[in-house]
Amino acid sequence: MSRDTGFKVRSGALHAEGVALGRIAQAVGTPTYVYSASALRAAARRFREALAPIPRKSLAFAVKANSSLAVLSVLRDEGFGADIVSGGELTAALAAGMKAGDIVYSGVGKTPEELAQALRAGVGHINLEGEREGEVLAATAVRMGVEATAMLRVNPDVNAGTHAKITTGTRDSKFGVAFADAIGIFDRLSKRPGLTLRGVAVHIGSQIMELGPLESAYRRIGELVAALRARGHAITHVDLGGGLGVDYHGGSDGDVTAYGAMVAKVTQDWDVTLMFEPGRYIAAHAGVLLTRVVWVKPGEECPFVIVDAGMNDLARPALYDAWHEFAAVAPNGATMRAHVVGPVCESSDRFAAGRLINRVKEGDLAVLRDAGAYGASMASCYNSRALTAEVMVEGDRFAVIAPRIDAAAIRPQVVPDWLDAHALDHAA
Ligand SMILES: Cc1ncc(COP(=O)(O)O)c(C=O)c1O
Ligand SMILES: N[C@@H](CCCC[NH3+])C(=O)O
C-alpha cells in the first residue's frame, strides 16, 4: 500500500480523505490521532487478496496494534476476527462486535482469571504459551463444564531480523514453548480432559521485511505438524502469527503478495486451516498523529521544533528509535534541519534528530505519519498528560472515536481508606 492512501496534500493542505486536518485540529485540538477508514479497508483487502491462494484460512487483527473500537469495527466488517493478549483486549474485541469464536487469545502471562474470562466468553482459540498454563486451562474448563479449544505456541528458534526488542522467536525469548519440548507437552496436554488441542501457533516478531525468517519458521512448524500427526494427533489448525512489516520511509512495504505465495507453497500439504494475525500491516499507514508546534527554539547544532505530542502519545521513537516522518500540514516548499521533540521530561522524547523537515513555525500544524499501529494503543499519561484523542475519517465526515481524557480523570484523587493489616490477619 502506498502510505498516501487516505492522507494527501490537496490545495496546499494535508487532508485525511476529504477532511482537512486543520479542520480536525480546530474541532478536537491536538495532539490527536487521525485514522482513515478507507486506508484501513484497503490494507485489509490487500492482505486478504494476497492470501487468495490459501484455501482454508482465518484472519484476526492484532488488537494490540490498535484497540480503538471504531477501528476494530471496520476490520470486523472486513471479515477479520481479533488476536488478543489480555482480558482488556477481549472486552474491546467483543464490544466492537467481533464474534467470540473469531477471537484467538495469545500471551505469556494470561492469569487464571483471564483464562476463565476467555472460557466464559467462548473464545475460539487460546494459544497456550506454556505447559502449566494448559493444565490450568484444562482444569478451569472442567470446573466450568466447558471444553477449551487451544493451540500450542512454539518457539522455532529463528531470528526474525527485526529490532531486538520486537523479535519473539529466538532461543532466549519468553514466548511459546521450546521447539524441543513441543511434542512432549502436546502429548501430555492432549490427554487432559476439558482441553482440545487443535494445532500449533508461531509468531517470530514484528516489523519483518524479509520473508526468509518467516519461511524458515514455517518450515520448522511443518516438520512439527508431521511429527505430531505421526503420533496420532489430529492437527486441524496452524496459526502463523503476524509480523509483516511496513516501510516508514515512504518505500515499499513487506511484500504481501510474495508472502501469500510463500505461505501457499510451504503449507501446500499441511491440510489445515491457517490463521493469520496481522497488526502493523493493516493499521500503520492508516493513521497519523496530528500535532501543533508549540515553540521553535534555537539549539547549538540546529533548532528544536517542540511539538505538543510527546513520547507518551507515540512511544515508538523513544522505545525503538523508530522513524516516523514529520510533515507540515500546510507545507510551503521550504525545508529546515531540526530536532523534533515533545514536551515530556525525558531526552528520549524526540521524534527526529537533526532531520531535514518541512519548514514549520510556532503554531503550525504537523503530523507524524504512519502512526496507526502501536500509536494510540501504547499511549500513556506520563507527566500527567492527557490521553490523546482519536478521530476516524470516512469520506468527507469525521468522528471523535476516543475523547481526550485528562490524566486526573484516569487517576482521580482518593482519600486513602487505610486498612490495618494485622486486623485483617485476625479476621482471616
Ligand atoms: C502473537 C502475536 N500475533 C500478532 C502480532 C502482530 O504483529 P504485527 O503487528 O507485526 O503484524 C504480534 C505482535 O508482534 C504478536 O505478538
Ligand atoms: N510495539 C511494537 C511492536 C510489538 C509488537 C507486539 N509483539 C512496535 O511499535 O513496533
Residue in this structure with the C-alpha cell 512489516, named with its chain if needed? 245
User: Quick one: 154 and 23 in the same domain?
Assistant: no
User: Quick one: 219 and 312 in the same domain?
Assistant: no
For residue 329 the three cell numbers come to: 500540514
CB under 8 Å to 137, separation ≥6 — which residues? 115, 119, 126, 128, 148, 150, 194, 195
Count CB neighbours of 191 within 10 A.
9
Q: Which of 47, 64, 80, 238 is the pocket-test mutation for ligand 1 (most atoms within 8 Å of CB)?
A: 64
Q: What is the pLDDT of residue 387?
A: 97
Active site residue 345: yes
Spans in the chain with pLDDT lower than 50: 1
HEC-encoded secondary structure of 241-265 = CCCECCCCCCCCCCCHHHHHHHHHH
User: Quick one: 156 and 201 in the same domain?
Assistant: yes
For residue 118 the three cell numbers come to: 476467555
* In a domain? residue 417: no
Q: What is the pLDDT of residue 314?
A: 98
* In a domain? residue 326: yes
Longest Cα–Cα distance of the chain, Å, equals: 74
Q: Kindly give the distance from the C-alpha atom of residue 231 to the centroid of ligand 1, in angstroms, as a whole number.
A: 30
User: Quick one: 337 and 363 in the same domain?
Assistant: yes
Which 8-state DSSP code applies to residue 378? G
User: Quick one: 14 and 96 in the same domain?
Assistant: no
| Domain end among 247, 280, 313 | 280
> How far is the C-alpha of 202 from the C-alpha of 221, rounded, in Å?
8
How many separate domains does the chain show?
Answer: 2
Q: What is the pLDDT of residue 286?
A: 98
> How far is the C-alpha of 219 from the C-alpha of 227, rounded, in Å?
13
Answer yes or no: are the C-beta atoms of 329 and 14 closer than 8 Å. yes
What is the residue range of 297's domain? 7-35+284-410
Reported as type and span, the H/E element at residue 323 is none
Q: What is the pLDDT of residue 416?
A: 86
Burial of residue 413 (number of CB atoms within 10 Å: 0-12, 13-18, 19+): exposed
Ligand 2 neighbours (beta carbon < 6 A): 64, 166, 206-207, 316, 374
Q: Kindly give the distance from the C-alpha atom of residue 367 to the centroid of ligand 1, in angstroms, as a whole number.
A: 25
Q: What is the CATH number of the domain that holds 216?
A: 3.20.20.10
For residue 424 the three cell numbers come to: 485483617
For residue range 101-116, what is the model confidence (pLDDT) as tens digits? 999 999 999 999 999 9
User: Quick one: 252 and 387 in the same domain?
Assistant: no
β-strand partners of 195 = 148
User: Quick one: 47 and 165 in the same domain?
Assistant: yes
Q: Kindly give the distance from the C-alpha atom of residue 204 to the centroid of ligand 1, in angstroms, as a whole number.
A: 8
Q: For atom 12 of ligand 1, which residue has the closest CA? A: 242
Considering 345, 421, 424, 428, which one is annotated as catalytic? 345
Answer yes or no: are the C-beta atoms of 8 and 265 closer than 8 Å. no
Atom of ligand 2 nearest to the CA of 378: 1
Ligand 1 neighbours (beta carbon < 6 A): 62, 65, 83, 106, 168, 203, 206, 241-243, 277-281
Q: Is the ipTM of this complex over 0.95?
A: yes
* In a domain? residue 353: yes
Q: Known binder of ligand: residue 320?
A: yes
Of all ligands present, the nearest one to the C-alpha of 82 is: 1
Q: What is the pLDDT of residue 415?
A: 86
CB under 8 Å to 320, separation ≥6 — which residues? 163, 165, 166
CB under 8 Å to 325, separation ≥6 — which residues? 248, 249, 250, 368, 369, 370
For residue 45 the three cell numbers come to: 483487502
| Domain end among 263, 280, 297 | 280
Q: What is the CATH number of the domain that holds 329?
A: 2.40.37.10
Q: For atom 8 of ligand 2, which residue has the closest CA? A: 374
